[in-house]
Structure 1
Amino acid sequence: MARGEGPVLTSVTAAYLQRNLRPQVRSITVHPPGIVYQKPYGTGDPDLAGFDNQTTPDRKLAQAAQNAQQGGSGSPSLGRRTYHKGLQTIMWRADDENDDELTFEVQYRREGETTWKVLRKDLQEPILVWDTTTVPNGTYFVKIVASDARSNAAGNALTGGLESATFEIDNTPPEFRIGSVRLDGPRTVVTFDVTDDHSPIQMVEYSGDGQRWVPVFPTDGIADSRTEHYVVTLVDPVGPRGLTLRATDSMNNVATTQVSAPSGR
């Protein structure tokens, strides 16, 4: 160093801990009862045969890049839509401004209750299919809690949550209450009520052969309540197999009953 020249600062390196921000659950979608989705064909790296650890850092980065292209925790990749009675699909959209890896806990409670019950823990995808036949009929809420604990030390991890709007669970079919089966000249008149403890009646039909179904409307003209009254007038005589009645409520629960021909025919 020449005389009179001082030291020269050429670079500075500083290490810092980024401030952790709380993850956000932006929205929750509760699909109609019974609507489920098949898993799509895989588009990422396949698992390696004979290699136990499929979660090495390189493979995690590859999976993270694939998830980012598909929207991360915001939009799970879905396959073909189908129907399965008793199942309820719940999806949500969540993000983290630190780009932390998120896991999810799904909680639920019935209307009128104050305690949240845990349905699933440590979910990595923003979708859950719930077998609702495991709980009583009623009005329910779900809550999604997102955690960034996998990317932060225990003392720095944060959670964020969101509650859904109410939705109905009903897996019990309607009930028939047969009033009378009588002759009115050459015609047969059947009167009955259809009731449901939780959901409105949606449709009632009858069939004489179990193949051709004829819709029936309630006496008030529209099926929109949990109790409906019906009068069916048949021009043709009831056959030896009787008359089959079928009722469906708004949650796609189905009930059937059989009515025999009136005596005296």
Structure 2
Amino acid sequence: MVYTIYYRGEGEKNWKLLKDKVEQKFYSWDTTTMPDGAYYLKIGASDAPSNPPEDALTAERETDRFEVDNSPPVVENLRAEAASPDVRARFDARDSSSNIVRAEYSLDAGDWTALFPVGRLADSPQLSYEVYLRGLAVGEHTLAVRVFDRFDNGATAKVTFGVPPKKR
């Protein structure tokens, strides 16, 4: 058997050749070269290599729609409001192609800690987050946050803030 693989984007009429004369029963496609969006594949199969031309058979089949998402989410409006010794940090995350599914934070290069969005459900391409950091030492601190979309594309941001001494 020999296979021919075509692709087209959603809303496009013409199939474009992706790979011709594939002899394996599998093919790995590096989609990082493709823009984000919805796509379809069409696979053509032929037994011509092992049959005389008059006996060769061919068939084609199209895949269901699938998504390519290579773009990472974006972290916006990361800010920390310090009131000794507690800090409230907030930020927004958005993704142009898929839902935000996971967020984490790290204080002063510590371990990453899971963080749920305001509303507790990570079910949207745009979410807001809030974290309370309690009992921090006086001085400068760095809060890093990272978010991931459903295709595991990630983005990281940081904010540096100071915890003032307690007022007497």
Q: Deviations over 1:83-135 (max 9, x none)?
A: xxxxxxxxxxxxxxxxxxx1001111111111111111101111011111111
Q: Partner of 1:97 in structure 2? A: none
Q: Tell me, yes or no, if structure 1 residue 188 matches structure 2 residue 87.
A: yes
Q: Tell me, yes or no, if structure 1 residue 243 matches structure 2 residue 143.
A: yes
The Cα shift of 1:211 comes to 3.9
Q: Partner of 1:201 in structure 2? A: 100
Which residue identity is paired with 2:145? L
Q: Partner of 2:9 in structure 1? A: 110
Which residue identity is paired with 1:199? S
Q: Partner of 2:156 in structure 1? A: 256
Contact 1:176–1:193 (CA under 8 A) maintained in structure 2: yes
**RCO higher in 1 or 2 (8 Å CA, sep ≥ 6)?**
2
Contact 1:182–1:262 (CA under 8 A) maintained in structure 2: no
Flag structure 2 segments of 5+ consecutive residues without an equivalent.
Answer: none
Q: Deviations over 1:165-220 (max 9, x none)?
A: 11111111110112532124531111110000001111100001334111111111
| Match for residue 20 of structure 2 among 121, 127, 139 | 121
236 and 167 in structure 1: CA distance in 2 versus 1, 3 angstrom threshold: farther
Which residue identity is paired with 1:200? N
- Aligned residue pair count: 164
Contact 1:205–1:216 (CA under 8 A) maintained in structure 2: yes
The Cα shift of 1:152 comes to 3.8
Kindly, what percent of the aligned residue pairs are identical? 37
129 and 241 in structure 1: CA distance in 2 versus 1, 3 angstrom threshold: farther
For the pair shown, which has the larger CA radius of gyration, 1 or 2? 1
Greater share of residues in strand? 2
The Cα shift of 1:157 comes to 3.5
- Provide the aligned C-alpha RMSD in A: 2.0
The Cα shift of 1:264 comes to 5.3
Q: Partner of 1:145 in structure 2? A: 44
Distance between the aligned counterparts of 1:130 and 1:260, measured in 2?
41
Q: Partner of 2:130 in structure 1? A: 231
Flag structure 1 segments of 5+ consecutive residues without an equivalent.
Answer: 1-101
Secondary structure of 2:32's partner?
helix
Which residue identity is paired with 2:154? V
| Match for residue 77 of structure 2 among 178, 182, 191 | 178
